[in-house]
Structure 1
């Protein structure tokens, strides 16, 4: 698929609503239209302002698409109509707008990105408040939050930026006079913003952001790089969590990466508590992860319970130069005397650490203030009761044997340990620990069968027993969870390594796709669908089920789903379930791409399930990248084969031309010379001289005919257009036919035929086998002395017929035999009027015999001479009486 030249984006930025961004964009559009550019207004909202509406006159306006959302109806930008209209320049107002549900993209800036990929230039407007990385600064300045924002990457990729500015006092006057918002309700909603202090702060922010972008654009145009070499080497790290306040930390880190022009990484430390996070917390983590991706971060995941230690290890191995962390005033993590931040700073004292204060904890609490009501399991409850009963019975037995109370306490602690190993959740360990203490008190302390204790030391014993049971059960559960986590990580890593091995062993395009799909099913435990790219279009879907049960293929491969796959192929972007594009689809679609080329589209059946986990997603993308590399390598191999074939064909053509130019000159000269002699001197020539000239002309003509036949046969074989007409033929008749067309010099040699007594039938194309026999006999005549004895023989050997052409000539040297059947090879390289030839005869024989499924070769004939032999498939002889 030929990639289109992308369009250009120009952004008109302002520091607040009403500064005149839309009017500036419309004025620029009129200038372009006067210059002959095809301009279309894609979506312009005048907000009831007469001056904006007046500027729309003279511009073609695309019709809006209307979408209902509950009781309200909204006009939205019609992306498909715009793509179909395909103007040179399109105007799109309010770049940060969020589309209503049901549209292809969730955000308008994604519509604009698709327009740019389609080769259409775009003019768009945005407020500085709507740039993602500045959200926290804007909130500090204005005291409010803007809900609709664009990623910094959208703003940074603009080819041109124009700052639309107005004095804050003039803007406040416009607002007070009602020129900005005719609707009184909207006027009051923005009242908090229109103060001189806030507008001045936003204005300063817009000037700084615009200046920074214009500087980078100028550097790119001039081809220069940043003068400070140290800034290129900066590596900024931010830690991800599920806390809403983590967004502030991510934005701060993104701004640092932008200022230092450094590498930006977002690290997530997955502990055993990750699986216990609520759905809300997991959704918050995914939201923060998506924010980090939008701001240009590379996502990394590590595992372990020691969060500061894992971060420090990653910092050291990845050469991180700056760390951005959030710090809450919620004191300490667990019972530790130091916070995560304090521990991390102690572990990496030489790395610059930026602390961003906020009110919420970045990490999930180990001991939440509010417990989520646990889901009771009758099976686990029965196991807990069973262990308690067994421990009590063993304790009674020990008591009868006179064992001390310490031995009985040990039995209960072991029971708690085993119970923690076989049950799920901390609840059963807590129940087991408490019930063990109560049961021990009831059955084994005086007074028996009551919960009282006479001995003053028993409360300490009970507390020690409870603490030991609880600590042991907690540690056991943690070890079990860590073991499960390690096994899961090892399994995923093994799948990735196995994928690499299978892709290396794959022999062709389909094997690579199948190996990748099967490994993805193994990793994700989901049904996978692949659409391969064939001649610029997507093939029929290939489905790989996660189990043998029948699936509703139509729900995943229907017309609507195929349209999403087609969009992913055309735009080289992911889409589908859990994304902001075609989010109502049943599958998540990823392009298998190498650079700008898309080799296939992979679909993961989601069935409205939760999005993929961070590590799973990273491995899946790694798999698809490796698949793309394998497909690209296979494509390069195919191209290399085509190039090699073209080189061979060029060599063949060159050799043919070189041979023809050399070897045809002599016979053609001889024919024309002899003909000229006959024409000019026919009266003075004797009959004997005339017959000699006629014979020479005939011999040269037959040689040329024989040569042309060989050339045509070789051409058909090389082009794959040789069609065999295989039939059962009598070998004796084929040999007789061949001897009728051999070289006229055959009268100077003794040629005999020796056949088995039985009738020999072989499956062959008689026309081609006759040519083989003629070439081999002519070869024997050409390279043996006059009077030599040439024998054609045929015999049956099991299911094959062996034909041999032997002579008693000088023989062939061993070093020559190895190349005898190569094209353009002639023994002794004799040319000219003597034994002329292109070296095609034996090469042609080999090709014809191989096409019949036989073999051809040469060996010595004792006591002297040479034997050429070849085999054909024997055919049964039918006798009719």
Structure 2
């Protein structure tokens, strides 16, 4: 696809940072009520003041209209080069690359040329603001969208370049550039305003009438005051501001008529005046699908205008338009309804109840505001079911078969002597069956007429003639024809309502199914996949997802619609990727059917939660009809659900990281607390005993010295074992401990371990019991020795002197079970589940009162698990405790 929007690839190559996390720039608007009041000059004066204060100021785009005084004021400012001929438009990418503190961009409401990224200049300014660049700009009152109808009524001119009110209302500063109308007229008469020829002079002459200028000035003053009030409220109490939006709820009913824009603007002004919520409702009826292409385009434009003016779009289905509006209004707590009423060109002899009257009757407690809507919606000349191209041979045959069947039944009834009323009922039943079996009223209407003719021909005297002898038969035929038409019409309406209900139920089911599946999905990839699959079901188009990663967008994921082969390069090329990247960086939608990168083949939406973009979803729209209002709203709801699920997944992972950090902090705090408490006793003992030895070298006997030396040695070994356990646990937890597995004889490992147990082992009876002297296991011998040492030392520490400690090993199939048992006091049940936790220690009843840090058994657990085994503690019958762990058994190689 040849992409001609403004430097899509260069923007990508610049590598601009996402606006997420950046401080947004400030927007100052120089506001005027007419051309020539001096907005541009006032902006240039303010820019020079900022430059004198040391700010980096750049003139991005200034429209001088060849006025010498304006051109002279640009001197001293850096002027940004414009785009190349022929557009000579503002170069957005150069401005983003230059990144000044302040940039001047004249004419906020200007429409950009075809070689620009955005269709409207205010969109360029929004991107500058998101990039953190402050902007000065200018605009006149006639360029505000909600005031268009009012200004057009005053001036008699329709301005095509307009901006949404939200752009104006989002400004940080508004400066009204105001001069008296008499002075403005004097400037016009002196030729200071007109430099572009006679056409512009005539246009200005039509507007520059004193009464009109006074009216425009009044509107500008009032609107500026309202905006200053909004800015004050924004900087004040946010809670109080939110309270305003609960007072009123304005509902505007939109249609496909071009004049519906006036209704929408009026409702927007009301919503702003009442500071209430704003909803735009469209009622889709069976005739909606028969709208002309122009009317469908107008409907989309009206919906887009409502969104630009701050409305929340909504769609309901049904034949009863006032009933649907009233039901939605009551359930949504609407306080005011704004609706347009077309002007009727013909007078009716019989008054027909219109939508407004029905709506007033159905919602008597809601204010209804009626705005003249001069242009009704345009439908195709023939309904879809009556078009010649919709003729179906199959349906025609069905109608003929039903008519023949009814005729045969009627002949049989006449043979049986049934009255003509029974035969009429048969034909009416045939019309009903025909309406059910066929599609479109054409076949039902034809069947009704043919049924009357056949009945007249075969069942009324004179037979086999269309002439009736009885004067009452014409009335009978008329009633029969009317009943046939009514019954077929009601049947078709029921079928259409059933179709609409099924369609609505399907779409709602898709949304509910999406929510259910997203709740069950685990991981961001599964969430994106489920969302994409559901979107394909909803819109019946190919969907492309660009997941967001730490370095930006990842490779696209393509989910094709059924029976559609999509060439990846066609919709994921450099140009399309650039549009998706822009959406990710700017948190805005773009692509086809939008005003940004409208030449793209896909419509791109940001999957976002607040200011965070988790992915970009692209819907392939190339050669496809634009999305309907209901599909679009459901799709946005799906993307919102997806964003919430991705945000939940991100928060969950962050919570896990935080939990790990908290646990590490707790471990560190417990370790420091345990070390500070437990090291005090051995260090005090070592320093005290060393002090005694130094102070009394010749006084102490040899026996006393040996006792002191022994205490110092025992305390030092206790400290060494403590440090070794700490280092081992640290290495295992960090994954930095290297294990060297090989087959080892259990007898040798146990014997070596018993040589390094606590010196207090002399007070206990330690035994070794092996069922096989050649019993071997796969292990890292130095670590398993540490496990055995810790287990034996633990038994020595918590059993009375003279107790028996038994170290045994036996084979259990492919495993070797090693046990360390004692006949001490045993372990309480509540302590068994915590024994292998770090820093847990049981009550020590030994006389020294020294506590351990609770690291020994925790280290044993880590080592055994690293060997792929298990460790547990059980009771020793009749008394004591048994610690056991398992290792992988190895066979003895007798040939070595």
Question: Offset of 1:175 from its aligned partner?
Answer: 3.8
Whether 1:183 and 2:201 are equivalent positions in the alignment is no
- Provide the rounded CA distance (Å) in 1 between the counterparts of 2:103 and 2:622: 37
Could you say which structure has the greater relative contact order, defined with CA pairs below 8 angstroms and 6 or more residues apart? 2
User: Residue 825 and residue 112 in structure 1: after superposition, are their counterparts in 2 closer, same or farther (change >3 A)?
Assistant: same
- Provide the rounded CA distance (Å) in 1 between the counterparts of 2:241 and 2:130: 33
**1:93-108 counterparts in 2 under 5 A?**
93-108=106-121
User: Residue 43 and residue 736 in structure 1: after superposition, are their counterparts in 2 closer, same or farther (change >3 A)?
Assistant: same
Q: Tell me, yes or no, if the aligned pair for 2:233 and 2:241 is still in contact at 8 Å.
A: no
**Equivalent in 218, 225, 237 of residue 251 of structure 2:** 237
- Provide the rounded CA distance (Å) in 2 between the counterparts of 1:727 and 1:516: 51
Instruction: Count residues with an aligned counterpart.
Output: 876
User: Residue 638 and residue 224 in structure 1: after superposition, are their counterparts in 2 closer, same or farther (change >3 A)?
Assistant: closer
- Provide the rounded CA distance (Å) in 2 between the counterparts of 1:586 and 1:831: 81
1:301 partner SS: strand
User: Residue 379 and residue 147 in structure 1: after superposition, are their counterparts in 2 closer, same or farther (change >3 A)?
Assistant: farther
Question: Offset of 1:112 from its aligned partner?
Answer: 0.7
- Provide the rounded CA distance (Å) in 1 between the counterparts of 2:417 and 2:860: 103
| Partner deviation per Cα, 1:66-125 (whole Å, 9 max, x = no partner) | 36xxxxx32211111111111111111111111223432111111111111111111111
User: Residue 783 and residue 794 in structure 1: after superposition, are their counterparts in 2 closer, same or farther (change >3 A)?
Assistant: same
Question: Offset of 1:300 from its aligned partner?
Answer: 2.2
- Provide the rounded CA distance (Å) in 1 between the counterparts of 2:630 and 2:552: 32
**Equivalent in 598, 608, 617 of residue 632 of structure 2:** 617
**Equivalent in 422, 447, 467 of residue 437 of structure 2:** 422
Question: Offset of 1:868 from its aligned partner?
Answer: 0.9
- Provide the rounded CA distance (Å) in 2 between the counterparts of 1:690 and 1:212: 95
Whether 1:297 and 2:311 are equivalent positions in the alignment is yes
Whether 1:510 and 2:525 are equivalent positions in the alignment is yes
Match of 1:772 in 2: 787
Whether 1:580 and 2:595 are equivalent positions in the alignment is yes
Match of 2:14 in 1: none
Whether 1:748 and 2:768 are equivalent positions in the alignment is no
**Equivalent in 24, 27, 35 of residue 45 of structure 2:** 27
Question: Offset of 1:177 from its aligned partner?
Answer: 4.9
Whether 1:308 and 2:326 are equivalent positions in the alignment is no
Unaligned runs of 5+ in 1: 68-72
Question: Offset of 1:720 from its aligned partner?
Answer: 4.1
1:415 partner SS: helix
Greater CA deviation, 713-722 or 697-706? Answer: 713-722
- Provide the rounded CA distance (Å) in 2 between the counterparts of 1:766 and 1:557: 58
| Partner deviation per Cα, 1:656-706 (whole Å, 9 max, x = no partner) | 112212222222333344444555655565554444444333322222111
2:435 partner SS: helix
Whether 1:591 and 2:591 are equivalent positions in the alignment is no
User: Residue 876 and residue 185 in structure 1: after superposition, are their counterparts in 2 closer, same or farther (change >3 A)?
Assistant: farther
- Provide the rounded CA distance (Å) in 2 between the counterparts of 1:491 and 1:497: 10
- Provide the rounded CA distance (Å) in 1 between the counterparts of 2:673 and 2:846: 13
Q: Tell me, yes or no, if the aligned pair for 2:285 and 2:317 is still in contact at 8 Å.
A: yes
Question: Offset of 1:294 from its aligned partner?
Answer: 0.9
Q: Tell me, yes or no, if the aligned pair for 1:93 and 1:125 is still in contact at 8 Å.
A: yes
User: Residue 785 and residue 625 in structure 1: after superposition, are their counterparts in 2 closer, same or farther (change >3 A)?
Assistant: same
- Provide the rounded CA distance (Å) in 2 between the counterparts of 1:324 and 1:357: 11
1:827 partner SS: coil
- Provide the rounded CA distance (Å) in 2 between the counterparts of 1:138 and 1:832: 98
User: Residue 247 and residue 368 in structure 1: after superposition, are their counterparts in 2 closer, same or farther (change >3 A)?
Assistant: farther
Q: Tell me, yes or no, if the aligned pair for 1:141 and 1:198 is still in contact at 8 Å.
A: yes
1:325 partner SS: strand
Whether 1:55 and 2:73 are equivalent positions in the alignment is yes
2:843 partner SS: helix
User: Residue 372 and residue 186 in structure 1: after superposition, are their counterparts in 2 closer, same or farther (change >3 A)?
Assistant: farther
User: Residue 226 and residue 516 in structure 1: after superposition, are their counterparts in 2 closer, same or farther (change >3 A)?
Assistant: closer
User: Residue 346 and residue 596 in structure 1: after superposition, are their counterparts in 2 closer, same or farther (change >3 A)?
Assistant: same
**Equivalent in 850, 860, 867 of residue 852 of structure 1:** 867
Q: Tell me, yes or no, if the aligned pair for 1:332 and 1:338 is still in contact at 8 Å.
A: no
1:794 partner SS: strand
**Equivalent in 291, 297, 300 of residue 277 of structure 1:** 291
- Provide the rounded CA distance (Å) in 2 between the counterparts of 1:371 and 1:79: 52
Question: Offset of 1:143 from its aligned partner?
Answer: 1.8
Unaligned runs of 5+ in 2: 1-17
Q: Tell me, yes or no, if the aligned pair for 1:429 and 1:470 is still in contact at 8 Å.
A: yes
Q: Tell me, yes or no, if the aligned pair for 1:334 and 1:367 is still in contact at 8 Å.
A: no
- Provide the rounded CA distance (Å) in 2 between the counterparts of 1:221 and 1:230: 15
Whether 1:115 and 2:131 are equivalent positions in the alignment is no
Measured on the aligned residues, the alpha-carbon RMSD in Å equals 3.1
2:34 partner SS: coil
Question: Offset of 1:334 from its aligned partner?
Answer: 13
User: Residue 32 and residue 5 in structure 1: after superposition, are their counterparts in 2 closer, same or farther (change >3 A)?
Assistant: same
Q: Tell me, yes or no, if the aligned pair for 1:246 and 1:362 is still in contact at 8 Å.
A: no
Q: Tell me, yes or no, if the aligned pair for 1:142 and 1:198 is still in contact at 8 Å.
A: yes
1:507 partner SS: coil
Match of 1:710 in 2: 725
**Equivalent in 812, 824, 827 of residue 812 of structure 1:** 827
Match of 1:216 in 2: 230
Match of 2:341 in 1: 327
Question: Offset of 1:52 from its aligned partner?
Answer: 2.1
User: Residue 727 and residue 257 in structure 1: after superposition, are their counterparts in 2 closer, same or farther (change >3 A)?
Assistant: same
**Equivalent in 470, 477, 488 of residue 503 of structure 2:** 488
**Equivalent in 26, 29, 40 of residue 8 of structure 1:** 26
Whether 1:204 and 2:204 are equivalent positions in the alignment is no
